[in-house]
Structure 1
Amino acid sequence: MKRFLCLALLALALPAHAVNSSLDARAAQQDIPVTELRIFAEVLERIRAVYVEDIDDRTLLEAAIRGMLLDLDPHSAYLTPDEFDDLQVSTSGEFGGVGMEVTMDDGFVTVVAPIDDTPASRAGIQASDVILKIDDTFVKGMTLNEAVNLLRGEIGTDVVLSIMRSGENNPRTLTLTRDRIRIQSVRSERLADAYGYVRVTQFQNNTGRDVQRQIDRLKADGPMQGLILDLRNNPGGVLGGAIQVADLFLEHGLIVYTQGRTEDSRINYGASRGDTLDGLPLVVIVNGGSASASEIVAGALQDHGRAVVVGRRTFGKGSVQTVLPLHDDRALKLTTARYYTPNGRSIQADGIRPDIQVNVARVELMERGEGIREADLPHHLAAGTAAAERDSPADDLASRDYDLYQALSILKGIHLSRAGAR
């Protein structure tokens, strides 16, 4: 490596005619592209000499580094000190902005998922929306970090986005007011009395602990017959958090493994003993906004047969990024491996396909027109409070969140089938 750097620097420092045959021979032996390095040096010199404005060498070299990473994949990036700080802050669970996870797709900034209860989610931004403009600036040609920097700003200031949505002919314009984004990554509630619901919006360092606490709280409220784990619009986050959550529900076996370029680069992540639900039925909900770490959890639980995965095919972000600190508080975020489920499925570009597909739907409760019923007869007996209250929550859930309504129906079906088999 040191020899490569020395030869590269020498090729950059000297004009082509000054690089002697001895250097060419050494480069050929080590398969170093001296011709391309000479071209790079020549381009650098031409920019210095005739570009319309004077640009310092540091700016040119940083641009070269960014360009080198830009063509690799959408997730590798060169991080300045400010960008490195932003990355560390975002994984801690609090940062400023509009509240959405974005990626680069074919030169456009594309929404992976809006974060719950943020300006982006309240404005109706959806997974797969393409951002065309941020204020008056076109996004095409920007790096991902440059676009993110434009989305962020002082709390209370507005940012105007031009959004193109699949299936629509014209872009829509949305004005979002920046806010402090505090990610409460885990919340829970009881559904239909005996069924638990846990929502994970993003995986952070302590997400496994937080999920366990929410499950303990649900158990304390009374016996449970099953649990729904909601990973919709969860853009991922910290790998360790995903492994912790999957481990809560698995007794043993592989959770995920990563494989790099070489055979000996495989790393296995396994489960420890103990299922926090003691085998109770588990349903996982996913959609196109479920990416990366959430796909790891869904894939592990699906491969082990521990959960039924419900919803729509996930985003398909199955690559591993390693943050490598550099000199002067800079860093390199580099894709170094791919994620694979326990059965060896690659998540990358394919995603997790649900066991039960639930298409996008909206339920509207219509007025019943079924003719005369018991309730229409004079002097009929009242139904009683318990019966009236029992029907209403299900109707409300179906109209409020159809995916969750379907998942709850499936969970109830699993519980009843198990109970009948005893």
Structure 2
Amino acid sequence: MSSRFRLSALALSLALLGAAPLVQAVESADGTSPAPLAGKATLPLDELRTFAEVFERIKTAYVEPIDDKTLLENAIKGMLSNLDPHSAYLEPEDFKELQESTSGEFGGLGIEVGQEDGLLKVISPIDDTPAARAGIEAGDLIVKIDGQPTKGWTLVQAVDKLRGKAGSKIVLTLVREGGKPFDVKLERAVIKVRSVKSELLEKNYGYLRITQFQVNSGEEVAKALATLKKDNGGKLGGLVLDLRNNPGGVLQAAVEVSDHFLTKGLIVYTKGRIPNSELRFSADSADASEGVPLVVLVNGGSASAAEIVAGALQDHKRGVLMGTDSFGKGSVQTVLPLSNERALKLTTALYFTPNGRSIQAQGIVPDIVVERGKVTHDDGSSQGLKEADLSGHLGNGNGGADKPSNGKAAPDTSKPQDEDYQLSQALNLLKGLNITRKP
């Protein structure tokens, strides 16, 4: 990794995440707070007098006594709540959970949530978690939590309700694609997120899945690529990079992963108002993937940092993007620690792909649209007679064995592509690319 990736304290505090702080956190390189804001705005004295007057009226006239701390913290939350869905005031417990989450282990259900028209929406379930095992899908609306309607809740409120002690039970009422509400009963668990998974789909073709961008994801991807090449005799013929239902994560990890597939050029840049918020990240000449033919899978659950990687690879024409439109979160959140173990998670910039595309509210459009589906297998019993079935047929002049219609073996369903239509299409595309590349 080149020196261009040694970020400032502020840069390292940028976390590009799907939505709520279920799976998000970053830390500065040296533990210090981000750079101070430039300039001092003139104080709005009239508005501050109004605020003080309202504060005093509530203190003296509200039907029940209310302490200063509660009033002031509610005021701070109100300032953040009307900015955008991703800015929030983090109290000590929320801040601690946010810091822990990129270590890959935290308590809860394993879902990334956002808001849409005041409703709580699943951005993506995380692999191998209670939510994924219960069949919760990206796009599901959570209309109730333990019987309580969620409409109008903030994301912080929703996360507080979703989290809990491992082993405790929770009931989510979901609405899927405009259908009728249905309940899903889950048991909370300690969520241990394995950021990177890999395996050979078949000889010559590798599969690399990134479930979430954590601090060490770049290093894990490099190791996975080396293992895949070793398992295949030293070189791969093609690779599927699966970013589906990846809610995002740490910006630096997205840059490092992109750099493993690129040898030059811009990866991503950001634009904002505060010092050091306008950042540019470029690839170095090393290529851990060794130029392997690449297909990248994305869907509506691919958000933020996942979209950075997909957008960079698409703009550089490094791989073919396949699947459905991504989520469309193109804003940057900076974690600004406060002096009392609290923090602000504040939207401070927008990020752009190498060609200058803003993904915000639009997403990445794949090169080849492939909707989700399930692969079914035909046992071959419906096909008609072949020449080799006919009595007295001539043999193959080159000495090849006869292939009658009933001689087809049942497919091996032990590989992920056998049940995943999008993945099977990605693998077929890689095979086609290899046919045309060979002399």
> What percentage of aligned pairs have identical amino acids?
56
1:233-272 superposed matches below 5 A: 233-261=245-273, 265-272=277-284
- The separation in 1 between residues aligned to 2:246 and 2:412, in whole angstroms, is 26
Partner of 1:78: 89
Letter of the 1:417 counterpart: T
Kept in 1, the 8 Å contact 2:277–2:348? The answer is no
Find the residue that maps to 1:237 and give its secondary structure.
strand
Q: Displacement of 1:130 after TM fit?
A: 1.4
- Per-residue CA deviation, residues 144-201 of structure 1 (Å, 9 max, x unaligned), is 1121111111111110001122231x21111111111000111111123111110100
Letter in 2 for 1:145: V
User: In the alignment, does 2:179 pair up with 1:179?
Assistant: no
Once the two structures are superposed, what CA deviation does each residue of 1:247-273 show, in whole Å capped at 9, x if it has no partner? 001001110001003798421011111
Greater relative CO (CA pairs within 8 A, separation 6+): 2
Q: Aligned partners of 1:394 and 1:95: how far apart in 2? A: 33
For structure 1, list consecutive stretches of 5 or more residues without a partner in the other structure.
Answer: 1-29
Q: 1:363 to 1:53 in 2, by over 3 A?
A: same
SS at match of 1:126: coil
Which stretch shifts more, 139-148 or 69-78?
139-148
Name the counterpart of 1:301.
Answer: 313
Q: Which residue of 1 aligns with 2:323?
A: 311
Look up the equivalent residue of 1:141 and give its one-letter code: G
Among 213, 216, 222, the residue aligned to 2:223: 213
**1:13-50 C-alpha deviation (Å, 9 max, x unpaired):** xxxxxxxxxxxxxxxxx764333323322322222222
1:416 aligns with 2:428: no
Out of 124-133 and 310-319, give the one that drifted further: 124-133
- 2:422 is aligned with 1:403: yes
For 1:19-418, list aligned pairs within 5 A: 32-168=43-179, 170-221=180-231, 222=233, 223-261=235-273, 265-366=277-378, 368-373=381-386, 392-393=411-412, 400-418=419-437
Note the C-alpha offset of 1:276.
1.7
CA distance in 2, matches of 1:93, 1:262: 30
**TM-superposed deviation, 1:53:** 1.7
Question: For this pair of structures, how many residues does the alignment match?
Answer: 387
Letter of the structure 2 residue corresponding to residue 331 of structure 1: A
State which drifts further: 106-115 or 154-163. Answer: 106-115
Aligned with 1:328: secondary structure? coil
CA offsets per residue over residues 127-153 of structure 1, 9 Å max, x none? 121111111322222221121111111
Q: Partner letter of residue 289 of structure 1? A: G
The structure-2 alpha-carbon separation of the partners of 1:324 and 1:398, relative to structure 1 and needing over 3 Å to count, comes to closer
**Structure 1 SS opposite 2:209:** strand
Q: Which residue identity lines up with residue 116 of structure 2 in the other structure?
A: D
Look up the equivalent residue of 2:108 and give its one-letter code: G
Contact 1:197-1:227 within 8 A present in 2 as well: yes
Structure 1 residues 179-228: Cα deviation after superposition (integer angstroms, max 9, x where no partner)? 11000111111123111110100001110111111111111112310111
How far the C-alpha of 1:399 sits from its partner, in A, is 5.0
Q: For each residue in 1:371-411, what CA deviation from the matched residue of structure 2 results, as whole angstroms up to 9, or x when unmatched?
A: 33468678997869xx967x724897565100100111111
Bigger helix fraction: 1
Q: CA deviation at 1:112?
A: 1.0
Structure-1 separation of matches of 2:68 and 2:81: 20
Tell me how far apart the structure 2 counterparts of residues 178 and 266 of structure 1 sit (CA, whole Å).
40
> What's the TM-score, normalizing by structure 2?
0.83
Whether the 8 Å contact between 2:147 and 2:173 is mirrored in structure 1 is no
Distance 2:278 2:378 in 1: 55
The change in CA–CA distance for 1:158 and 1:395 in structure 2 (over 3 A counts) is: closer
Rg larger in 1 or in 2?
1
Q: Residues 53-96 of structure 1: CA distance to partner in whole angstroms, max 9, x if unpaired?
A: 21111101101111110110111110111111000111110001
